[in-house]
Structure 1
C-alpha cells in the first residue's frame, strides 16, 4: 500500500504538497545567478508554505538550463483529483516565490490552477533516461 492509499481522507497530511527545491551545481548558486539572495528565497518559500507543504532541498534535478528549479508535487487530495508534479523554472525573485506559496496554500496541483504569474515558468522536464549501474 502506498502512502497515498494509506492516508486517511480527513488527515491534514492528505492536503500537504511537497515542494522540491533544486540546490546543487547550478540552481541556488551565486555563480550562475549573481546578486540573487538564494538563501533568502529558500527561507521565504519555507515560511510561506508552512502548514501546506513540505519543502525539501534536492540534489541536481537535471534541468540546469531552467534554473532555479522548483517541483511542486500534489498532495494526496491533489493526486486523487488528477494532479501531477509541476516543474517551475526561474524561481529567482520574491514575486515568483510568492506565486508558488500562494498556489500551494490554495491546494497546489490537482486542486488549484497554476496561477497566471507562474504559467510562463512551468515546463516539462526533458525525457532523460538514467541508467543505474550496480557497484
Structure 2
C-alpha cells in the first residue's frame, strides 16, 4: 500500500451530493409547464445548505423519468454501503422537501429515504451510471 506524503493533508470527507437534471426534458416548462424548476433548485440549495452539495447538470440521460434527481451518499454513507439513489418524477414541492430532509438527516447508507421517495426510485443502466458527471 502506498503511503501519502506527510506534506499532504488527508482528503476532506465528501458530503451528500444532490445532482439535479436540468437539460433537454427535465427542468423545462415544455415538458412540465406547472413546475417552477428554478424555484426547486433554489429550495434544494437553501434547504440543504452546508449539509450537502447541490449541482445542476445538463442531462442525465434518463428522460423517461423526468424530473430526475440523484442523491449520492457522503463518504460516511458510502462506507456504510450507500450508493447513489436515482429518483424520477420529482415534480412536487413535497418531494423537494423530502429530498432536503433526507440529505440533512445523512442521506443514502445512513438513513432510509423519508416519505414516499422510495416510490420515486428507479434503476439506470451501467452506461448511464458511469457517465454521471463527477
TM-score normalised to the size of structure 1?
0.83
Unpaired segments ≥5 residues, structure 1: 8-12, 131-135
CA deviations on 1:17-69 (whole Å, 9 max, x unpaired) are 01000010000000000111111111101111111111011121010000100
Residues in 1 aligned to 2:97 and 2:128: alpha-carbon distance in whole angstroms: 32
Query: Counterpart in 1 of 2:115?
Result: 116
Q: Give the total of aligned pairs.
A: 121
Query: Counterpart in 2 of 1:48?
Result: 47
The answer on 1:66 being equivalent to 2:72 is no
Q: CA deviation at 1:127?
A: 4.2
Contact 1:15 1:52 in 2 (8 A): no
CA deviations on 1:83-110 (whole Å, 9 max, x unpaired) are 0000011111110000000000110000
Q: Secondary structure at the match of 2:50?
A: coil
TM-score normalised to the size of structure 2?
0.84
Contact 2:48 2:103 in 1 (8 A): yes
Contact 1:88 1:123 in 2 (8 A): yes
Unpaired segments ≥5 residues, structure 2: 3-9, 130-134
Query: Counterpart in 2 of 1:99?
Result: 98
Alignment of 1:18-29 (within 5 A): 18-29=17-28
CA 1:129/1:31 → structure 2, altered by over 3 Å: closer, same or farther? closer
Which of 114-123 and 102-111 deviates more?
Answer: 114-123
